[in-house]
Structures are given as C-alpha cells and as structure tokens.
Structure 1
Amino acid sequence: MDGKTLSGRYILGRLLGRGGMGVVHEADDTALQRRVAVKIMNADILHSRSAVGRFEREARAASAIQTEHIVRVLDAGVDEETRSPFLVMELLQGEDLAQLLERLGPLPPRLALRIVAQACVGLQKAHEAGVVHRDIKPGNLFLARREQGPGLIVKVLDFGIAKIKPAHDPRRDTTGLTRSGSMVGTPRYMSPEQARGIKDIDHRTDIWALGIVLYHALAGRTPTQDVEAFGDLIAALVAELPTPLQEFAPWVAPEVAAVVDGALQYQPVARYPSASVMLDAILPLLRDDPGDDPLSLDEGMLVPLSPSERQTVAPRLELPAAPRVPRRSGPVIPAPGRAAERWRDQSTDG
C-alpha cells in the first residue's frame, strides 16, 4: 500500500505495524502538511459487524476524551477502493511499555510508578467521559516523545473494545459483552469479573488491569505467567488472588507493593474507587525531591533495575490472613473455541 492515497488526502508510507484487525502505516496528510498514522481495517474481515463496530467505537471513544494522555484520533473514513474503514491518528515516536519491558526486564520502582501515574491521568479522563477501556496492558501504554520540549508522555492506545456508557453515547452499546459468558480483552490482565464474562463491568476493571501492569513492570512478569492452558488461566483469574508481588520481586518496598495490592482486590468495591485515587496513592512515593515533577519522564530514566537493587530484600507488606476470594456457585469459565483462539493470539503479552 506504500504510496496509495486515501480520501484524496492521506498518502501512505512505511508500515508501522500489523495485527489481526488491520495494518498501521505512517502517512502524509497533504491537507494539513503533517505526518500521521493511519490504521486500515483488513478487507477480509469487513463482513464482521463486530470488527467494523470496533473501528467505529475506537474513533468515538478516543474522540470523547480530552487529555494529552490518550492517543488522538484525527479523522476517520472508508477507502473507496477496498471499502475498508480507516482511522487517522497522531503519529507517535517512541515505544510501548511491552517493548520497554522486553528490552529492560523489571523496572526500577520509581520508573514503573511514573509510567503508571501518567496512565492514571489518562484513564481518569476516560472514565469521566463514560469510557471503560477494558484492554489495559503494556502494549496499549505508549511512551511517546513530546512534540514540543523534552521528555516522554504516556498515552493510552486502542479503544477498540471500550465500553461507552449509554448516557455518553446515544448509540446502542455493541461492545461485544452482550451476555454473561462472553469475554473480550487480554486474559492475563483481566479482572476476575471480566474473565467471568459479566456484562455490567465498570471502570474498576481498568483499575485491576493497571494494577497487573504495575505488577508486571516491577516484577518483570505477570502473576499468571506460568499458567499456559487457557482454561487453567481463566480458572485462576476467577478463583484466586494473584501471588503477592514481593514473592517475585522481594526488592520492592512495602509501600509500593501496597499500591499494587490496592488495585488487585477481588471485589471491585474493595479496589481503588477511581484512577485518581490510585494516582493519589502513587504520588507521595515520588516526591522525595521538592523540585521534581512526580509525573515527569525522560529517556534517561529508561534504565533496567540495577544488580544491587535486585539483591535487596525489602520488609514484607502485611496482607490480611483471611482469604478475600468469596465462594461462588455456577459456571465461571467461558466456553472454549473462539475465546481460546483469542487467548492464543494474545498470550505473548506475558
């Protein structure tokens, strides 16, 4: 497609990425003389109403949120030649958190906290706009170089399976969770209620997922990384609390482990009630230097955990002795088949 023009305006350039839904190209916006990213839906899935709906939903959801911490959708249209929908987004330079973790392994706690703190700002704005992301994971948190001035900014990507509350979107909610037993998202980062396929999940499912992201950034792994079978993973998600962070990352201070624990409570009502409250729990841990902006990030901070830090054994966070997972009746594991295929496709996220 290199050199192809969409809508008489966007000249496609190099391929930036490819996935099951479509491809992303760098492009020239000839009308406004700027470089952009264009996501084009694969022609072979145009027959899928849910796939087309995902494209439409991503544009609506991202456009409803006013913050620099959400990737901006600039335009949307349909390619006249292939009839494939496309989205035009701001072009980002940098890497996503999944790539950073693959490159560095466990991150120093202050770096991990700064990344998640910025993500909290973006998620809070999304939730205030009535949007629940439902697929927060390292690959959807992008560390972008700022267009003006030094530093990095964390941007939340991919609102394709977001849930938009009806009060904020007059269209019928066709988010893919239309009945109990249907599951969307990336399994290793799913909340228990999302893994169970419950329809009426709310913004607190994103709080859980962000807690797993922070866990992964601090420990270099997710709590369920050793679980390979899809059914076993779902059973673990709906019936067990994650292994305490310090079991895998003994160097993490108890006050940092407490932030993770506050997000990873089984019952949504017991988690941080909002992303802003989670942010409030993080900020005191980043204010050692009065002159430092606790949300600032720059490329010089992107370093691995040092060998000396790895050898540290911090005091343990005291956790409640009583089990926090309630007893439940009835089936909790979604049917295999398409859900299992999605799991295999997404299991590389760790």
Structure 2
Amino acid sequence: MGIVGGEGRLIGGRYRLEVRLGRGGMGTVWRAHDELLSRRVAVKELHFGADEPEARVQRARAMREARTVARIRHPGVIVVHDVVEQDGRPWIVMELVEGPSLAGRLRSGGPVAPREAARIGVALLGALRAAHTRGVLHRDLKPANVLMERGTGRVVLTDFGVAQVSGVTTLTDAGGFVGSPEYTAPERMAGGGTGPEGDLWSLGVLLCAALSGASPFRRDSLGAVLRAVVHEEIQLPEAARPLRAVVDGLLERDPRRRLGLAETERMLRGYLRSGRAPERGAGEPGRGRGVGRAAEAVAGSGGP
C-alpha cells in the first residue's frame, strides 16, 4: 500500500516526495522534486502484496513497464527518466504532466465536445502507432490513463503496467485478468489472443466515454460488464452521433472487421477539418450488431 504521510520523504537519495497525485490498484503516483537537477517529476510507487512470489511479479512488472516506455519515443507517450530502488522495491521516475487525467476532467467538467473528442482520439492514435511500431500493446487504454497537459492541451498516454511486448513473457496477477474490463476488447475477454485491434476497441470505448461521460459497458457487477462487452447489443449514446461512424467501426466485435488505425485517423482528421460527420469509405469495415466470434468463443467455454 502507499506510504502514509510520505510527503517530504527522499527516494533514491534524490527524489523528494511532495504531493500524492493519484492512486490506483497497482500503484501510487507522487509529485516529487528532483534535487539533483532541480526539476519536478512524477514518481510511481508500486503496491506490493505481502506474499513474496506476488512481490517478485510486481518487481518484474515495474522494470518491464519502465523498459517498455523507454523504448517508445513520441510526444503523446509519457517519458520515463529513471528507476530507483528504495525499501527493496523499484520506483519509476517519469516526466510530470501538469494537468488532470481525462477521467478527472470528465468528473469535474462533464463530457467533452465532439471536436475535442476527435482531437484526443487523433493524439492517442499517434501514441498507439508509436507503441505498436515497437511491438508494444498498451492493453489498458482508458480515461484514467490519459493525461491532459494544462496550458498546452497535449494528450499523453501513461501507465504501461499491463502492456504486452512482442517476444516478452506476459506477467499476470496469479493467473488472473489484468486490465479494465469496461475498456477491454471482447476477444481478450473470451481468452483469445489480442493484437493492435484490441487497443483500437478500447479507443472506441474511450471516445464514447469522452462524448457521453460514461462507458457504454458500465454495469453494476463484473459479470454484467463481461456480458455487455461480449454478448449484448451495443447501445451507443446519442452524444456519440457526430462520431458515430468512427465509434461504430471501432466497436466491431470481430477484430477482422474493426476499423484500423489509419482509417480511424483519416476519419477523425477529416471531421476536424470539415466539421462534417465522418463516413466510412467503400472499402472500410462495417459493423455487425450480432454476437460475433468473441461471444461464440465464450459461449463455447461455458460463458464468462
């Protein structure tokens, strides 16, 4: 768990903790002062369980996250400066993005305008292209992991803690599911393999959340979320209408029919230029409202 009263503590002989910025299931992020270079940074403290095997997995995940992000160079991807050891655990030192997450912005200000949603989408597509080119799948794209830099409007993708890297063994929590079910592609929910298309599904859910304030798969229980993602007809919010063709194409359950990155970017950029609702080109995928392959796989295994 996070440090109680950690403000003022020196980490790695260099980074002075100032204010806790946020806390999630896997870690706590602090604003800190780099006393060597006299700059502010963000420091991620990992939450380790008491069980030693679990702690080893968490240590390995922290190092993998740092290495994963360090290999991606893009203004839309968080920059990792350093990894230091303190109290037997690694702490990840990153650039400090001054501003709220998209989740915080939605909580405080409500849904964003369609043009702003499209701008955020284009920025995230650039970050995903840079990651996918390096063989990295984010696998946890959601509003809480998107930072909005105050004053510049820069959109920054962060938290690669559950990313999948080509050629690297995947780390899980005692064999359990890792990620955010509301934003996870149905093929992954069904236990199948996932590729870049999985991140694009998550982008479609994120655009819905940005436009309406909530994911279309929000339910009262995990089981209900799983059924909604894999089985139920997808009911898009009215607020998604200006970008409906994009969201429709991204929320195609069959990844073979899902909009690709280039097509999605073309449609969003076209909307930003013209203000006209995007339309699919003749060769671009449609969307089936039926159950699809992912649901069939789950049904064959006895359900979620």
Range into which the TM-score falls when normalised by the shorter chain: 0.7 to 0.9
Per the alignment, residue 263 of structure 1 pairs with 250
- 2:283 corresponds in structure 1 to none
Query: Greater relative contact order (Cα 8 A, min sep 6): structure 1 or 2?
Result: 1
Aligned-partner Cα distance in 2 for 1:28–1:162: 28
State the shift of 1:324 in Å.
5.9
SS at match of 1:74: strand
Identity %: 35
Could you say if the C-alpha distance between residues 203 and 73 of structure 1 is closer, same or farther in structure 2, counting changes exceeding 3 Å? same
Residue 176 of structure 1 is aligned with which of 161, 167, 172? 172
Counterpart for residue 76 of structure 2: 69
1:187 matched to 2:187? The reply is no
Cα deviation, 1:72-120, whole Å, max 9, x if unaligned, reads 11100211xx212100000110111111111222221111111111111
Question: 1:36 aligns to what SS in structure 2?
Answer: strand
Match of 1:202 in 2: 195
Would you say 1:219 and 2:212 are equivalent positions?
Answer: yes
SS in 2 for 1:272: coil
TM-score, scaled to structure 1: 0.75
Q: Distance in 2 between matches of 1:189 and 1:128?
A: 22
1:231 is aligned to 2:223: yes
Partner of 2:131: 126
- What letter corresponds to residue 209 of structure 2 in structure 1? H
Identify the match of residue 285 of structure 1 among 260, 265, 271.
271
Q: Helix, strand or coil for the counterpart of 1:76?
A: strand
Task: Output the CA distance in 1 between the equivalents of 2:201 and 2:174.
Answer: 21
Say if 1:18 and 1:24, in contact at 8 Å, map to a contact too. Answer: yes
Measure, in 1, the Cα distance between the counterparts of 2:117 and 2:123.
Answer: 10
Q: Count residues in correspondence.
A: 287
Task: Calculate the aligned-residue CA RMSD, in Å.
Answer: 2.6
> What residue is the counterpart of 1:308 in the other structure?
none
Deviation of 1:173 after TM superposition, in Å, equals 1.2
40-49 or 130-139: which moved more? 40-49
Query: Using the alignment, how far apart are the partners of 1:215 and 1:156 within structure 2?
Result: 17
Residue-by-residue CA offset, 1:103-162 (whole Å, 9 max, x unaligned): 2222211111111111111111011111000000000111013xxxx5210000100000
Would the aligned equivalents of 1:63 and 1:72 in 2 still touch at CA under 8 Å? yes
Deviations along 1:230-256, one digit per CA (max 9) or x if unpaired, are 21221222223421x2xx216723xx2
TM-score normalised per structure 2: 0.86
- Greater displacement, 116-125 / 229-238: 229-238
* Contact residue 57 and residue 161 of structure 1 kept, 8 A: no
Q: Tell me how far apart the structure 2 counterparts of residues 195 and 35 of structure 1 sit (CA, whole Å).
A: 39
Distance 1:91 1:259 in 2: 32
Change in CA separation of 1:29 and 1:242 when aligned onto 2, cut-off 3 Å:
same
CA 1:178–1:66: 2 relative to 1, 3 Å: farther
Matched residue of 1:60: which SS? helix
One-letter amino acid matched to 1:55: A
* Counterpart Cα distance in 1 of 2:30 and 2:303: 38
Partner of 2:301: 331
- Is the partner of 2:162 in helix, strand or coil? coil
Distance 1:177 1:42, change over 3 A: closer
CA gap of 1:323–1:2, structure 2 versus 1, over 3 A, is closer
SS in 2 for 1:37: strand
1:160 alignment partner in structure 2: 161
Segments of 5+ residues of structure 1 without an aligned counterpart are 167-171, 290-313, 335-350
